[in-house]
């Protein structure tokens, strides 16, 4: 096998920033690192890219090992390549962020990783440059959510307008006026009203909605500037 002469070898890894929503708070899925250095410190879930894997395949495999989920919304975020970012060996890491519905029954966290959903407002110090990865992922998520309904990946298949508002408020850390929020989101024409009502969290009962993905694809900019209420 031919190799480029005079070049140093280095490791390539992927790290996954996994966001979730429990109906009240935006959360981050973290693990306790299982090996030295920095054993038992809070960390993102990651792994080294194997010779047979692409970056995307490696990230998807990491996500599956931790959650048991596949076909999850995942997006490449940024490459982290500071020469001293890893104290053991020169390691490049490509970060990906994912959106997971915590309520879905298929979610099955592997116990050996000691993973926990931590509210974003209470995330502890993370190893290496993982805190920077999380901050960059949150900024990217806020940008994407203003022009694309990616936040629906964090919700059940059917949801209420109050649930949707709580999610947007958690992501942007702001409070929206209820009437304006409802008016603006319904004016997009992207939601399909259901017959059922949520009678557990509302005295009068709030109607459930679903996202009309077909209509959204035909009107991509319907969510543009949505958060500027």
The pLDDT tens digits of the residues spanning 164-183 come to 999 999 999 999 999 999 99
Of all residues in the chain, what percent carry a pLDDT higher than 90? 69
Helix axes 178-187, 161-172, angle to 10 degrees: 100
CB atoms within 10 A of CB 122: 9
Residues 6+ apart with CB under 8 A from 61: 47, 53
* Residue that has been written with the tokens 């920095």 in this structure: 38
**pLDDT, position 229:** 47
The domains of the chain, with CATH numbers, are: 11-129 (3.90.79.10), 150-223 (1.10.10.10)
Mean pLDDT of 86-104: 95
The pLDDT tens digits of the residues spanning 139-167 come to 999 999 888 888 989 998 889 999 999 99
Going from the C-alpha of 100 to that of each of 64, 67, 71, 194, the distances in angstroms are 12, 9, 10, 23
3-state secondary structure of 24: coil
Average pLDDT, the chain: 90
What pTM does this model have?
A: 0.90
Smallest CA-to-CA distance from 210 within 145, 155, 146 is with 155
Quick one: which H or E segment has residue 208?
A: strand 206-211
Of all residues in the chain, what percent carry a pLDDT higher than 70? 93
Quick one: which H or E segment has residue 74?
A: strand 73-80
């Amino acid at each position: 096998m031919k190799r480029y002469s005079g070049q140093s070898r280095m490791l390539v890894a992927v790290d996954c920033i996994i966001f979730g929503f429990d109906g009240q708070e935006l959360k981050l899925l973290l693990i306790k690192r299982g090996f030295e250095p920095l054993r038992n410190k809070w960390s993102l879930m990651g792994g080294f890219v194997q010779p047979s894997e692409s970056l995307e395949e490696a990230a998807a495999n990491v996500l599956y090992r931790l959650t048991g989920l596949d076909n999850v919304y995942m997006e490449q975020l940024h490459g982290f390549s500071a020469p001293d970012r890893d104290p053991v060996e020169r390691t490049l890491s490509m970060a990906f962020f994912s959106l997971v519905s915590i309520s879905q029954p298929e979610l099955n966290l592997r116990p050996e990783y000691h993973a926990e959903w931590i509210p974003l407002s209470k995330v502890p110090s993370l190893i290496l440059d993982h805190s920077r990865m999380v901050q960059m992922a949150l900024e990217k998520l806020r940008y994407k959510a203003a022009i694309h309904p990616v936040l629906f990946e964090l919700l059940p298949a059917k949801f209420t307008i109050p649930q949707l508002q709580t999610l947007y408020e958690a992501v942007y850390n702001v409070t929206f006026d209820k009437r304006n929020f409802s008016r603006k989101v319904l004016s997009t024409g992207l939601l399909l009203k259901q017959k059922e009502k949520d009678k557990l969290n509302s005295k009068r009962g709030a109607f459930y909605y679903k996202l009309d993905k077909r209509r959204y694809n035909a009107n991509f900019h319907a969510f543009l500037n949505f958060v500027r209420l």
